[in-house]
């Protein structure tokens, strides 16, 4: 059977003479087992010929070398004679590597596609949550709805410019103190970001709600933001600022100095 397989490979490669070629063609036509073997070999070789060379990774190389060594051991002759393989047998062995590589690539692509689908799903959920939050924040008819919007923002893992701008606007301009405080809390979650720190510092100079002013000063002191010392000093000098706010500003100056 090995001789038949070898001849079939040479036949497919066009390496047989006229007589041998006629003999092989007769076997293919009259012997179903030979015909089946011919179809399988032709398919494997066709796939190899139509596929560009692929560099296997280290694990596949080790597996391939082990297979070759096993094949050599099985075919070695006594007295340590050297064994030679024809190109067809090597191509069949390489076909096994091709199948392994193809399987690995398929699994990698499938996993990558699954990850892409998961990312798309998460993005859709984030966009939906963001839109719901913005709609709540823009609900001028209900302060409780706007507070709920800031709560949604607080629970989000990150905040883009649109979310941040909406929270800053609510913190500085909303007519309801609870909404302002809730917006400040939501922004405080992202206080490690430089852009958020800048918005908080700016708010200190424009904030008019005493309750929010005190909370803002406490947050900035907690952040050890020494750059607000000038703003704190100005607050202590403003006549329109409540005493409780001035006292908090004095306390912040002492802690940051």
The tokens for 222 are 């907690």
Confidence at residue 53, expressed as pLDDT on a 0 to 100 scale: 44
Q: Tell me the pTM.
A: 0.53
- pLDDT tens digits, one per residue of 189-242: 988 899 999 999 999 989 989 999 999 999 999 999 999 999 999 999 988 889
The CB-based long-range contact list for 235-239 (8 Å cut-off, 24+ gap) reads: 235/204
CB 181 within 8 A of CB 211: yes
Domain ranges of the chain: 1-50, 191-257
DSSP tag of 141: T
Secondary element (H or E) of residue 75 = helix 58-75
Give me the phi and psi of 180, to 5 degrees please: -60, -45
Confidence at residue 105, expressed as pLDDT on a 0 to 100 scale: 65
Confidence at residue 90, expressed as pLDDT on a 0 to 100 scale: 55
Confidence at residue 108, expressed as pLDDT on a 0 to 100 scale: 63
User: How many CB atoms are closer than 10 A to CB 168?
Assistant: 18
Residue with tokens 């100056």: 253
The tokens for 184 are 């400040």
- Distance of alpha carbon 103 from alpha carbon 106, whole angstroms: 5
- Distance of alpha carbon 141 from alpha carbon 167, whole angstroms: 17
Q: How high is the mean pLDDT in each 10-residue block of the chain (257 residues)? A: 70 83 87 79 60 47 56 51 49 59 63 64 69 84 89 82 92 93 92 91 91 93 92 91 92 91
């Amino acid at each position: 059977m090995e001789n038949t397989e070898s001849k079939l490979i040479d036949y497919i490669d066009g390496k047989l003479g006229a007589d041998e070629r006629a003999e092989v063609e007769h076997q293919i036509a009259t012997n179903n087992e030979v015909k089946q073997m011919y179809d399988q070999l032709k398919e494997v070789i066709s796939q190899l010929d139509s596929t560009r060379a692929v560099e296997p990774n280290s694990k596949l190389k080790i597996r391939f070398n082990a297979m070759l060594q096993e094949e050599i051991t099985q075919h070695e002759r006594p007295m340590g004679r050297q064994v030679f393989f024809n190109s067809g047998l090597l191509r069949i062995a390489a076909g096994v590597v091709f199948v392994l590589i193809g399987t690995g690539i398929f699994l990698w692509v499938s996993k990558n596609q699954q990850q892409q689908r998961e990312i798309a799903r998460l993005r859709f959920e984030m966009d939906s949550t963001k839109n719901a939050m913005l709609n709540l924040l823009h609900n001028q008819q209900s302060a409780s709805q706007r507070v709920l919007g800031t709560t949604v923002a607080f629970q989000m893992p990150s905040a883009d410019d649109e979310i941040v701008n909406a929270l800053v606007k609510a913190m500085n301009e909303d007519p309801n103190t609870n909404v302002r405080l809730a917006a400040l809390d939501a922004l405080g979650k992202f206080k490690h970001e430089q852009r958020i720190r800048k918005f908080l510092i700016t708010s200190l100079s424009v904030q008019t709600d005493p309750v929010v002013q005190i909370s803002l000063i406490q947050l900035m002191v907690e952040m050890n933001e020494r750059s607000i010392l000038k703003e704190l000093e100005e607050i202590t000098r403003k006549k329109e600022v409540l005493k409780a706010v001035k006292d908090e500003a004095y306390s912040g100056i002492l802690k940051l100095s």
